[in-house]
Structure 1
């Protein structure tokens, strides 16, 4: 995720920290037992969510080997965190990821656009990194997923592929947090509308945003959208 910390590099972006959202948008009441942290990077979100659900089992997915080493070092010190060095999508195989060496959270399976490079110049420098790609539904069968389950997706434009490859698993989730770009930051990226339709069909309803990133002119660049399981009746 592109955090407030980017401001120290001289860029005009702003976010509202998770800790300031009272009740975590009602998610705290779910008493979550399992968290799927998809696009975990070094475990920034995982550290936060453990303060909200300290008894939950976390499964963190991070494809970049260099970043995964840092994630694994932290996860190995935790009682209920398992880290997996894999990317998630709607197919399986080995693919090249665009690794942004100067800011790894913006790395993606999709190429960046000029809009992203103009907004965050540090992402211009990137190189291909081979990673393993799997489907969430295939991996989930190997995990002990105890409900209620919370899924978080931070995959830089690849959200629709992750959702399609994990529909059976996501249909077991009580809520999803999905970071999505409003600006066209990645080639062939999923739009918020795409994500909304996919999750709506999977039984979720949009419940608001945990955070939003703003450009210098006040435009919303990206957001962390909350989707909760639609109540029947």
Structure 2
């Protein structure tokens, strides 16, 4: 007896779609010059994907992996599995962003402080994931801030500040020309060995403000502020955190890039950073590797997500 799956595939040519069986549970589907492949992912589930370059997939080249009892399915290309490190980091980035979005919703956060915003990648990702609250982004360097400002110009609830944040109000020289890794700190010996970009740099004088000094302005107009703090400042997160003073207690949660292997001279290690955050009342809800050594597999940095448990809304 024909399965429903096969009957559906046989109907596709009537709407201009060509179907060719290439393996049990797998078929090649094409329309015009763009092939699509259909992969059986289990009972009642099939996945259709566009094939790169119009290539016909080899039988068994694609597999579908069920993710536990969640109902989610991961479509795995054979080529993807060849670079374990890249696959793991991509998965970690995806899981981290999904987790942050879930925590923002659970804790009813309505203002995200995006410290070390770069071009606005983090804020744009939050919007794609459905976060509609206020975003306040901080980026100190002139060239990068111009890109950030442009990214935010059509979003009325995305505010941008051209400054860095730290322990005290001052000015400082920041290393530039390191792309997403510009820092107020110089590179460590380990950092120089890992990244050739650290061998040369320009500098730019920037303004440093305290977080507690900008909070009233950033939260203005919110009747019941429930802020979340994200920091990605290339070794400077604890200085930003210190600048919040007592007002750090107002944050329902936070996110910090913590270092296992230090890329910057004088930056805190993961143990010191996490201990500081936990002493301020935050508890870890997720740890996601950001970078790993290709030769050893060691994690260099984690994205650490922490929430203040007593700030969770009562069910």
TM-score interval, normalised by the smaller of the two chains: 0.7 to 0.9
* Greater than 6 Å deviation, 4+ residue runs: none
Determine if contact 1:31/1:53 at 8 Å carries over to the other structure.
no
Shift of residue 194, structure 1, vs aligned partner: 1.9
Q: Find the counterpart in structure 2 of residue 144 from structure 1.
A: 219
Q: Deviations over 1:23-65 (max 9, x none)?
A: 4154142232110000000001111112234321000000111
User: How many residues are paired up?
Assistant: 219
Q: Find the counterpart in structure 2 of residue 50 from structure 1.
A: 127
Secondary structure, counterpart of 1:200 in structure 2: helix
Q: 5 Å matches for 1:158-177?
A: 158-177=236-255
CA RMSD, 1 decimal: 2.0
TM-score (norm 2): 0.65
Determine if contact 1:86/1:133 at 8 Å carries over to the other structure.
yes
> Which residue, 41, 59, 75 being the options, matches 2:152?
75
Q: Find the counterpart in structure 1 of residue 186 from structure 2.
A: 111
> Which residue, 133, 154, 169 being the options, matches 1:92?
169
- Rg (Cα) greater in structure: 2
> Which residue, 264, 279, 283 being the options, matches 1:186?
264
Secondary structure, counterpart of 2:148 in structure 1: helix
Determine if contact 2:259/2:270 at 8 Å carries over to the other structure.
yes
Q: Does 1:220 align with 2:295?
A: no
> Which residue, 195, 203, 210 being the options, matches 1:135?
210
Secondary structure, counterpart of 1:143 in structure 2: helix
Secondary structure, counterpart of 1:49 in structure 2: helix
Q: Distance in 1 between matches of 2:226 and 2:217?
A: 18
Structure 2, unmatched stretches of 5+, are 1-84
Q: Does 1:153 align with 2:226?
A: no
Q: Deviations over 1:47-85 (max 9, x none)?
A: 111223432100000011110000001111212101100
Q: Find the counterpart in structure 2 of residue 196 from structure 1.
A: 274
Structure 1, unmatched stretches of 5+, are 1-11
- Go from structure 1 to structure 2 and tell me whether the alpha carbon gap of 1:116 and 1:22 turns closer, same or farther (over 3 Å shift): closer
TM-score (norm 1): 0.86
Q: Distance in 2 between matches of 1:22 and 1:38?
A: 16
